[in-house]
């Protein structure tokens, strides 16, 4: 595990130890959300705001890239509930999702949030309070000898002033540390999913395919003049083709040419983000790729 920045006055070893044994994503998203809200709102942070930020941080990873968080993890279950039952769209940015969650009248009473409250705030501090139970940890967080990362209350947490300078000064490093370990955790649970790190944060803008057209595919059509769409068998030319991700973008998260194929706009729209029927189209895809490579 990568070492955290040292501080002679703080028990950094306890913060590092928090992430050594994890069976769910809670600790990663809790700490990441805590750092974000410390920067935005100050030392006293309502738990419901942290819980809603946890869900909004994971929203795109769960709903768009379909990354599995494991059977024990309730973040994925909670996100699916709010998307399915409360109609929050998939493609909103983090702040939009966060604000919508907080605006829901039943957000605070959702069963999964009770689960988070019973599992995360105090157990995150367990290295500071080994062998103590939930109520005992709540009782002792304000003990100055413990140098707890934060103080616990039923409805909020308060960042320990002793830790504020460290957290703010090292915020970028701590967030990167959190994302790195979250990536390792999710990769272990999704061994067949590539490029996990790029599936943790929704890109500001998904790059379009104009560059691929100009630098490769328009030149291809200059050579062959026309081509048959592998999905519809309709004739394609330089003037009427669109580019399709054969393996959907939400799986590969890139625009590399090996995965792109010219297609008719109608079939591209109907295919959307679904994997094509491999028994029908994979041979046509590979055959086309061989032919395209011979054109240059």
Per-residue pLDDT tens digits for 214-258:
888 888 888 887 888 888 888 998 888 998 888 777 666 678 887
Give residue 2's pLDDT band: very low, low, confident or very high (50, 70, 90).
Answer: low
pLDDT at 285 over 80: no
Q: How would DSSP label each residue in the chain?
A: -PPPPP-TTS-HHHHHHTTTS-SSSHHHHHHHHHHHHHHHH-SEEEHHHHHHHHHHHHHHHHHTS-----TT-HHHHHHHHHHHHH---TT--HHHHHHHHHH-TTTTT-HHHHHHHHHSTTGGGTTTSTT--HHHHHHHTT-TTT--SEEE-SSEEEE-HHHHHHHHHTHHHHHHHHHHHHHHHHHHH-TT---GGGGSS--SS---SHHHIIIIIHHHHHHHSEEE-TTT--EEETTT-EEEESS-HHHH-S--GGGEEEE-HHHHHHHTTSPP-HHHHHHHHHHHHHHHHHT-
Which of 142, 170, 199 delimits the end of a domain? 199
Examine the domain organization and report whether 144 and 258 are in the same domain: no
CA distance 108 to 101: 9
pLDDT at 110: 66
The residue segments making up the domain with residue 288 are 210-294
Examine the domain organization and report whether 119 and 260 are in the same domain: no
The token duo for 128 is 């500071």
Higher pLDDT, 149 or 259: 149
CA nearest to 295, candidates 192, 186, 217: 217
Which of 199, 224, 239 delimits the end of a domain? 199
Give residue 65's pLDDT band: very low, low, confident or very high (50, 70, 90).
Answer: confident
Which of 164, 199, 234 delimits the end of a domain? 199
Contact yes or no for 288/276 (Cβ under 8 A): no
Q: Flag the least confident range among 60-69, 92-101, 241-250, 283-292.
A: 283-292
pLDDT at 271: 64
CA distance 166 to 153: 22
pLDDT digits (tens, 9 = 90+) for 14-37: 999 998 878 889 999 999 999 999
Contact yes or no for 156/45 (Cβ under 8 A): yes
Does residue 5 lie within any of the structural domains? no
Does residue 6 lie within any of the structural domains? no
Examine the domain organization and report whether 148 and 265 are in the same domain: no
Give residue 206's pLDDT band: very low, low, confident or very high (50, 70, 90).
Answer: low
Contact yes or no for 157/125 (Cβ under 8 A): no
Examine the domain organization and report whether 185 and 216 are in the same domain: no
Does residue 1 lie within any of the structural domains? no
Examine the domain organization and report whether 189 and 233 are in the same domain: no
Examine the domain organization and report whether 223 and 194 are in the same domain: no
Does residue 7 lie within any of the structural domains? no
Give the total number of structural domains in the chain. 2
Examine the domain organization and report whether 152 and 23 are in the same domain: yes
Does residue 220 lie within any of the structural domains? yes
Does residue 150 lie within any of the structural domains? yes
Does residue 239 lie within any of the structural domains? yes
Give residue 196's pLDDT band: very low, low, confident or very high (50, 70, 90).
Answer: confident
Contact yes or no for 162/9 (Cβ under 8 A): yes
Examine the domain organization and report whether 45 and 108 are in the same domain: yes
pLDDT at 42 over 90: yes
Query: Nearest 5°: CA angle at 11, between 10 and 15?
Result: 115
Examine the domain organization and report whether 40 and 138 are in the same domain: yes
Examine the domain organization and report whether 147 and 242 are in the same domain: no
Examine the domain organization and report whether 195 and 239 are in the same domain: no
pLDDT at 109: 63
Give residue 278's pLDDT band: very low, low, confident or very high (50, 70, 90).
Answer: low
Examine the domain organization and report whether 191 and 285 are in the same domain: no
CA distances for 261 relative to 109, 182, 265, 292, angstroms: 48, 33, 12, 10
Does residue 3 lie within any of the structural domains? no
């Amino acid at each position: 595990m990568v070492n955290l920045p040292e501080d002679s006055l703080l028990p950094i070893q306890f913060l590092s130890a928090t992430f050594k044994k994890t069976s769910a994503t809670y600790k990663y998203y809790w700490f990441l959300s805590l750092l974000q809200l410390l920067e935005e709102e100050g030392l006293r942070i309502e738990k419901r705001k942290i819980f809603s930020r946890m869900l909004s941080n994971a929203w795109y990873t769960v709903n768009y890239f379909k990354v599995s968080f494991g059977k024990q993890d309730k973040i994925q279950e909670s996100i699916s509930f709010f998307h399915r039952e409360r109609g929050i769209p998939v493609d909103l940015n983090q702040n939009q999702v966060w604000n919508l969650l907080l605006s829901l009248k039943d957000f605070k009473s959702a069963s999964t949030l009770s689960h988070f409250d019973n599992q995360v705030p105090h157990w995150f501090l367990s290295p500071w309070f080994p062998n103590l139970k939930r109520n005992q940890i709540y009782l002792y967080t304000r003990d100055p000898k413990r140098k707890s990362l934060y103080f616990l209350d039923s409805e909020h947490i308060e960042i320990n002033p002793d830790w504020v300078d460290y957290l703010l000064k090292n915020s970028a490093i701590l967030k990167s540390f959190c994302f790195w370990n979250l990536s390792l955790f999710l990769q272990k649970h999704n061994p067949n999913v590539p490029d996990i790190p790029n599936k943790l944060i929704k890109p500001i803008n998904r790059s379009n395919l104009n560059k691929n057209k100009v630098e490769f595919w328009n030149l291809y059509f200059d050579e062959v003049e026309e081509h048959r769409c592998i999905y519809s068998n309709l004739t394609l030319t330089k003037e009427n083709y669109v580019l399709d991700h054969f393996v959907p973008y939400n799986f590969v998260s890139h625009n590399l040419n090996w995965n792109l194929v010219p297609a008719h706009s109608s079939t591209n729209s109907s295919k959307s983000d679904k994997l094509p029927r491999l028994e029908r189209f994979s041979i046509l895809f590979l055959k086309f790729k061989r032919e395209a490579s011979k054109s240059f």
